[in-house]
Chain A
Amino acid sequence: MKRIKIPVGPQHPALKEPISLRMTIEGEVIKDADIRLGYNHRGIEKLAESKTYIQNLYLTERICGICSHSHTTCFAQGVEALLGLEVPKRGLYLRTLVAELERIHSHLLWFGIAAHEAGFDSLFMYTWRDREVVMDILEIISGNRVHYAINTIGGVRRDLDNSQKGRILEGIEFLKKRTGYYTNLGTTEPTFVARTAGIGLLPKEKAISLCAVGPTLRASGVPSDVRKDDPYAAYSELPFDVCTADTCDVLARVVVRVKELIESYKMIEFIIKNLPSGDVKVKAPRRIKEGEVVSRYEAPRGENIHYIKSNGTDKPERLKVRAPTLGNYPATIEMLKNGYVADIPLIFAAIDPCICCAERFVEITDSRGYRNIITMNEIKRRYPSRHINKDYIWPL
């Protein structure tokens, strides 16, 4: 059969970043995939070299609009290590609290998108409604819904009082109940399981050799989590388990994230009940002597790493940022191979940057030069039910 190339992207209203996917297909089967980046390159690493450390804290916050806290924490703890600053315990606990709340909001957002791509729109609306609860909690703590700006070099900028603690616990209690419902729904709803099981396979060896990170890696059965392996902030004192699943498909990625939600609730309750007293920050000097540091952080999408080199002034010599999504692209190509065109949105959504929702056209040119334009909705309508595997065992 003749191979055809189709472009998906680069502009797509629902993507967090514009990205171009080029699929080589044979019939309906994807034989090869290619990813092209750079449509949203903002030169942040170059810009960071001309800004002070405090300015860079706000710059790194704007790298991502969903896991903004992960970049500031990663940057701030790196700078603190360069300065040899000891952050007060209460500050570290509050930093961890916001980090876990951010993970909840990010996973709920993702879960909604995955449900939508799987054709289960009521679940999408449920999860996004419940996500408002955690967004409100973040607003109560920091005053902001997206860029919390709670970190500063040497600690956090805002403290927590008792009425806020009560509101947080109430919200978490509600979310816990809802997540129990989702776990039940996701595991027993036959259409949802049939749509996600066996799709986007990423075998364990491939996940390791392609350096996948985060829930994508853990869904292939590798128990790797920076919070456990390389504990930062308050994680060495918190009770939690690393969540894995071993079916290596989209369903496993759903399971890992739902399990992580439950772990996050546990951690937040522990933090609120065992919040140490004292200051939330220490004063940090503006100039940093020469040095270099590698700072790692487990963002909702996986390992986030910053390399910071200082040169004795108040500006860094070099700031290198590797966000988790970049680490997952080589693995995504592997997942797409031998899949179906109809699975592209679902597989891509499963690593968390998502091709979804809006109108998008796919142009197919056959050997005679005949062109046919198919909208994304049409592709979705043609979702086949050929992935039903009767021997499938639910990984929970």
Chain B
Amino acid sequence: MSQQLADRINEVLMGMVIEIKVPAERRIFLTVSADNLLDVIRKLRDDFGFYHLSTISGVDTVKNFEILYHFANSQCCITVRVVIHRENPEIISICELIPGAILYEREIQDLLGITVKNIPDPRPLLLPDDWPAGNCPLRKDWSYQAPEEKIPGEKK
């Protein structure tokens, strides 16, 4: 059944699909380019009823960044994958189509350092206000070094 749905999605999205996979029943993985993201999501929402965005996952693959939009309806859970460059990590906001995406977009901005264009509310979500710029905890090349603990007045 999911295979049929995947075939129909492939047909409707005509040429915008880079790759479509059905690894299991009720799971579809779809890869599209960043330029087509809004069109793809609009089509998925209006033609296939994928209104519910479960979450957005950002993955650092060392070479690139992958952003995965997990949508669900009552039949299937579809993951839309977008690959973006590591040098200039930018993605367009989908809040105009899915208003519920705002917290997830703020989260990937914080933790992966990806700029989300047109985001209605660009404030940090999880990191503190005085967090040093350029520190993106979920990037693979970031590691945490706990500062040496010093107790004032202790023996040398």
| CB neighbors of B among A194-227 (8 A) | 208-212, 224
| CB neighbors of A among B49-69 (8 A) | 51-55, 57-60, 68
Residue of A nearest to B52 (CB): A211
Residue of A nearest to B75 (CB): A229
Residue A260 is within 8 A (CB to CB) of chain B in the complex: no
User: Which B residues are CB-close (under 8 A) to A291?
Assistant: 23
| CB neighbors of A among B10-38 (8 A) | 23-24, 26-27, 29
Residue B100 is within 8 A (CB to CB) of chain A in the complex: yes
B70 touches A305 (CB 8 A): yes
With both chains docked as a complex, state the minimum distance between the C-beta of A46 and any C-beta of chain B, in angstroms.
Answer: 6
A294 touches B77 (CB 8 A): yes
Take A305-B54, A305-B55, A320-B55 as given contacts and tell me if A294 and B79 are in contact as well, using a CB distance cutoff of 8 Å.
Answer: yes
* Residue with the greatest number of chain B CB neighbours at <10 A, chosen from A208, A228, A230, A305: A230
B24 touches A38 (CB 8 A): no
A41 touches B126 (CB 8 A): yes
User: Which A residues are CB-close (under 8 A) to B100?
Assistant: 209-212, 327, 330-331
Take A38-B127, A209-B99 as given contacts and tell me if A322 and B54 are in contact as well, using a CB distance cutoff of 8 Å.
Answer: yes
The SS class assigned to the B binding surface is mixed
Question: Which of A45, A211, A309, A322 contacts B98, CB < 8 Å?
Answer: A211
| CB neighbors of A among B89-108 (8 A) | 98-104
User: Which B residues are CB-close (under 8 A) to A224?
Assistant: 52, 74
Residue of B nearest to A320 (CB): B57
**CA distance in complex: A38, B72 (Å):** 27
Question: Which of A43, A81, A212, A317 contacts B137, CB < 8 Å?
Answer: A43
With both chains docked as a complex, state the minimum distance between the C-beta of B58 and any C-beta of chain A, in angstroms.
Answer: 8
Residue A303 is within 8 A (CB to CB) of chain B in the complex: yes
* Residue with the greatest number of chain B CB neighbours at <10 A, chosen from A291, A292, A305, A331: A292
User: Which B residues are CB-close (under 8 A) to A14?
Assistant: none
A37 touches B125 (CB 8 A): yes
Residue A307 is within 8 A (CB to CB) of chain B in the complex: yes
| CB neighbors of A among B131-146 (8 A) | 137-138, 144
**CA distance in complex: A291, B21 (Å):** 12
| CB neighbors of B among A284-322 (8 A) | 291-294, 296, 303, 305, 307, 309, 317-318, 320, 322
Residue B113 is within 8 A (CB to CB) of chain A in the complex: no
User: Which A residues are CB-close (under 8 A) to B57?
Assistant: 307, 318, 320
**CA distance in complex: A229, B75 (Å):** 6
User: Which B residues are CB-close (under 8 A) to A209?
Assistant: 51, 98-100
**CA distance in complex: A230, B77 (Å):** 8
**CA distance in complex: A208, B101 (Å):** 12
User: Which B residues are CB-close (under 8 A) to A210?
Assistant: 99-100
Residue B147 is within 8 A (CB to CB) of chain A in the complex: no
Residue B124 is within 8 A (CB to CB) of chain A in the complex: yes
Instruction: Encode A128-170 as 1/0 by CB contact (under 8 A) with B.
Output: 0000000000000000000000000000000000000000000
Residue B152 is within 8 A (CB to CB) of chain A in the complex: no
Residue A326 is within 8 A (CB to CB) of chain B in the complex: yes
**CA distance in complex: A209, B77 (Å):** 17
Residue B128 is within 8 A (CB to CB) of chain A in the complex: yes
* Residue with the greatest number of chain A CB neighbours at <10 A, chosen from B72, B75, B99, B102: B72
**CA distance in complex: A49, B150 (Å):** 29
| A229-B72, A320-B55 known, 7 other contacts, Cβ within 8 Å | A229-B74, A230-B72, A293-B23, A293-B27, A296-B77, A307-B57, A307-B79
Q: List 7 A-B contacts (CB under 8 A).
A: A224-B52, A292-B29, A293-B24, A303-B54, A305-B55, A318-B60, A330-B103
